[in-house]
Amino acid sequence: MGTAFAQALEKAAEGKELAGEDLAALLEAEEAESPLLFNLADKVRSRFVGDDIHLRGIIEFSNYCSKNCLYCGLRIDNRELDRYRMSAAEIVEGSGRAAALGCRTIVLQSGEDGFYTAGLLADIIRTVKEEFDVAVTLSVGDRTRTDYAIFRQAGADRYLLKHETSDARLFAALRPGTTLEDRLKRAAWLKELGYQVGSGNIVGLPGQGVETLTADILLMRRMGVEMAGIGPFIPSSHTPLGGASGGSLEMALKTLAVTRLVLPRTHLPATTAAATVDPLGRVKALKCGANVIMPNMTPLSCRGGYCIYPGKAGHKETPEESLATALRTIERAGRGPAGDYGHAPGPAGKVEGVFQEEIFLTCP
């Protein structure tokens, strides 16, 4: 075991605040060291957010997008994509279906589509909240502060606005016409308005290194996020990065595990991207810090059109089949589904030093 890795892991187990060099040492874990990192992250997850897995049914209600991000298949310049929009009635119906299947949170996600005005989305949120007794998470990108306030007043509980990368230059290059500063300003607005705020990053982007991943985690700690979506980069055809190398699941899992150590009370999903690059990707994520799965509740007629990247896991499954897959994944990880809304258990905090006597077991 490398000295820097061992010292950083011991520091984490003792509940000491991790500095940037500690995070880098953990992210650079060798193959024989990774199980120790994953083991500690799993114990921290169990202590701070419990063993139950929160099911958050996601409805991808529009694949229209006004942005032109270099890595995303929904980018406006992708003329090969068949575009769709779900009606308000279809979104509400899909939400009811998800609630009936046991999802206590509905995630309403789309490209950045101005067709859905603040008033229209507010009406949908209000109806879903009143009719189905669920929490609502929005993921509709950059909006005005006024729009965010309207959504919150209508009953939206959470908002997912991933920062994608903490490298301001890389952010601007990958997301033309936007800035990291502006993205973070919006996240601050959401906090001020009382949302539980989600962020997250993409692991393996071209031009990204361990120092960037370290900065990503430190940024999320400063933000005090209640949720963080972390998954591997998957190149998409019909985008400028279609020929780039994809991110590795191993590095995504290490990033997830280190994030769990730094943000012990934050909800961390086992992402669809992880399952796309490895059929067991979500099981592995659940064993190194994740505690959320998002079964896809989008109607099958629209499912294939939400093509952020190719080969998306479960894109041919009905909502019922998607839920069944999620439950099998949870069972395979030795866990069970939660029955509550899955609200954040509290602000991010330091790990108490209760695991250090167990982490230095010999790696198999």
Cα 109 to Cα 112, 264, 297, 363, distances in angstroms: 9, 26, 11, 41
User: How deeply is 312 buried, as exposed, middle or buried, from its count of CB atoms within 10 A (0-12, 13-18, 19+)?
Assistant: buried
- As averages over each run of 10 residues, the pLDDT of the chain (364 residues) reads 91 94 97 97 97 98 98 97 97 98 97 98 98 98 98 98 97 97 97 97 96 97 96 96 96 98 97 96 98 97 92 93 98 96 69 38 31
3 state DSSP class of 7: helix
The pLDDT score that the predictor gives to residue 345 is: 79
Q: Which residue shows structure tokens 């099998």?
A: 328
Q: Beta partners for 137?
A: 107, 158
Tokens 């997850």 locate to 45
pLDDT value of position 2? 78
pTM of the model: 0.94
The pLDDT assigned to 346 comes to: 61
Largest CA distance in the chain: 58
Residue type, 316: K
Task: Output the pLDDT for position 350.
Answer: 42
Q: What angle do CA 141, 70, 112 make, to 5 degrees?
A: 20
**Alpha-carbon span 18 to 216, nearest angstrom:** 14
Output the CA torsion sign for 108, 109, 114, 118: positive
Domains of the chain (ranges; CATH) run 12-336 (3.20.20.70)
Q: Is 314 exposed, middle or buried (0-12, 13-18, 19+ CB in 10 A)?
A: middle
Query: Any idea which residue has 């589509």 for tokens?
Result: 113
Cβ atoms of 55 and 291 closer than 8 Å: no
- Is residue 165 within 8 Å of residue 155, measured between CB atoms? no
